[in-house]
Amino acid sequence: MSYLVLARKWRPRRFSELVGQQHVVRALVNGIESGRLHHAFLFTGTRGVGKTTIARILAKALNCETGVSAEPCGECSSCKDIDAGRFVDLLEIDAASRTKVDDTRELLDNVIYAPSRGRYKVYLIDEVHMLSAHSFNALLKTLEEPPPHVKFLLATTDPQKLPVTVLSRCLQFSLKRLERAEIDGQMRRILDAEELSYELPAIAALARAADGSLRDGLSLLDQALAFGSGSVRHEDVLAMLGTIDRKALANLGTALMQGDRAALRLELARIAELSVDYSGLLSELLVLWHDVAARQVLGDDVESELVDDDVLLQLAEGLSPEDTQLFYQLTLLARRDLDLAPDHRTGFEMAMLRLLAFRPLPGGDERQHAGTRAPTQQQAPRSPSASAPARPEAAPKAMAAPVRAMPMATSAAIPAKPAAPASAVAEAWFELLDRIDLRGPSRELAGRLRALERVGHSWKLALAPSLESLNSEFARRGLEAAVRAALGAEASLDIQLRVAEGETWAERGARARSEHMAAAEQTLLADPGLQALTQEFGARVVPGSLQVD
């Protein structure tokens, strides 16, 4: 028994049946109806978007026995023969297998003869960029001035390889990649017509995997039907494509956001058991970071096809916009370098470890990335006295010539400018923010506000006009929700764009850190061990190099 694959069985037979490419269809239909048809057409675009299909429909429209029309009847012998691929006046040439100039000359020798059955003799040359330079030269004159009964329809996936002399002689149409919704809808229409069962998440996964090519999508649909014994189930599709489900992707993103090493290790082990396509998984992570960034900037209207809305909201609030951009860039580089790794699993897991390593420490604006983290208690720096040599006289002679030590005063940090005493309203605002766990855009906004007035649980706050971009609806709503949760009552925030006196929460934190650093440097410079180093070996403390918890 013979089986006709879905891509061939459901190939469009009329312009009205085409999925997408309306910009091309409109131009061709208007040209046919007005009688303004060019003698050479060039259709460009990636695989499976309808180049040869449009060319065959155009050939039918020109040779239909009912007349030249944008709607060929599909019933006459000419239409049926073109659909079956046996119409004598439609010459389909595969340029990839006929690249020699002799093949081209043999083809052009028959151009002068009138069509045998149809109204026009149509030459459909697929993958025309594969022709040799001599073949193009032989084609040029005929392509520019063909007989009135000849039409050339050229198709290629790589128009950059065509000589400009050929491009200038053709009417060029660039076919775009199909949207996922278009591929998804066409698959569902086909399955409904075939009376086959399917699950919507499975169709969505196949549409994503098709990557803009309807033919690739229908081939994957055929494979899914064979894999699932005549039905398209989500679990079967994920196993076939080597991808993970929404929950696993959400768990992976959440573990990276929270810096949860145990959860990340568990997810990596689960992913390894599924034998997934790691390149495709990195692509899905890229889409996820894109959706998170869009949600942070554009607001609540942004949705994701990969995770639920509550997960997307959690990621958007848990990551700052800068972290999201960093995650996207690191994932993009990991996908590019995946083939350079010893194997794809190693490359993927190294990419996840890199994302975890660059996950900033909690603490707001002062957070530092892993490469500049302050030492922890387990890895505390040794005191200068402990690192000093037990016997300075045993030092190498190369160190015997001391370098003049810098004066102590130059090693100390410049004392921070004392801040003006904060008002009672500002202190209450700072105390409230210290109790709230804010992240992302909401924390950025809160750190730049100045408290003006307070009446009960209502606050009047000032934001510098130059920072207006921080006052997004997303950030403001998150801040208000956190304030209400901390106060246990309804609260309102009136944010005004104006210049106001006083210190912001971020400025107070920066001042406190500067004072803490200056005190730590003074303590270090007073250490007897450090003073011995400066006296014996000319050591000095580089200003600003000290890191403290």
Rounded mean pLDDT, 116-125: 90
Q: Judge whether residue 373 has pLDDT over 70.
A: no
Number of residues that make up the chain: 549
- Is the pLDDT reported for residue 362 higher than 50? no
The torsion angle over the Cα atoms of residues 84, 90, 95 and 98, rounded to 10 degrees, is: 100
Q: To which H or E segment does residue 487 belong?
A: helix 473-487
Please check the confidence at residue 269 and state whether its pLDDT lies above 50: yes
What integer is the mean pLDDT of 48-52? 90
What is the rounded average pLDDT of the residues 464-489? 82
* Block residue for tokens 């993927």: 348
* CATH architecture label of 6-174: 3-Layer(aba) Sandwich (3.40)
CATH architecture of the domain with range 249-361: Up-down Bundle (1.20)
Q: Is the pTM of this model over 0.75?
A: no
Q: pLDDT value at position 545?
A: 67
Check whether 399 has a pLDDT greater than 70.
no
Residue 446 per-residue DSSP state:
H
Q: What mean pLDDT is predicted for residues 369-381?
A: 39
Does pLDDT of 314 surpass 80? yes
CA distance 390 to 121: 98
Separation of CA 304 from chain center: 12
Q: Please provide residue 123's backbone torsions phi and psi, each rounded to the nearest 5 degrees.
A: -105, 110
Please determine, for residue 335, whether its predicted confidence score (pLDDT) is greater than 50.
Answer: yes
Would you state the pLDDT for residue 544? Answer: 62
| Local structure of 87: helix, strand or coil | coil
8 Å CB contact between 65 and 78: yes
Asked whether this chain's domains 6-174 and 180-241 adopt the same fold, the reply is no
* β-sheet with 40-44: strand ranges across: 90-94, 121-126, 150-156, 40-44, 171-174
How far is it, in rounded angstroms, from Cα 304 to Cα 311?
Answer: 10
What's the burial of 515, exposed, middle or buried (CB within 10 Å: 0-12/13-18/19+)?
A: middle
More confident residue, 387 or 539: 539
Would you say residue 535 has pLDDT above 70?
yes
Query: Which pair of tokens denotes residue 348?
Result: 């993927």
The CATH number of 180-241 is which of 3.40.50.2000, 1.10.10.10, 1.10.8.60, 3.40.50.300? 1.10.8.60
Decide if domain 424-502 falls under CATH 3.40.50.720.
Answer: no
What are the extents of the domains in the chain? 6-174, 180-241, 249-361, 424-502
Look at residue 438 in the predicted model and tell me its pLDDT: 82
pLDDT at 26: 92
**What are the phi and psi torsion angles at 171 (to 5°)?**
-90, 115
Mean pLDDT of the 213-235 span: 90
Helix (H) or strand (E) holding 193: helix 180-194
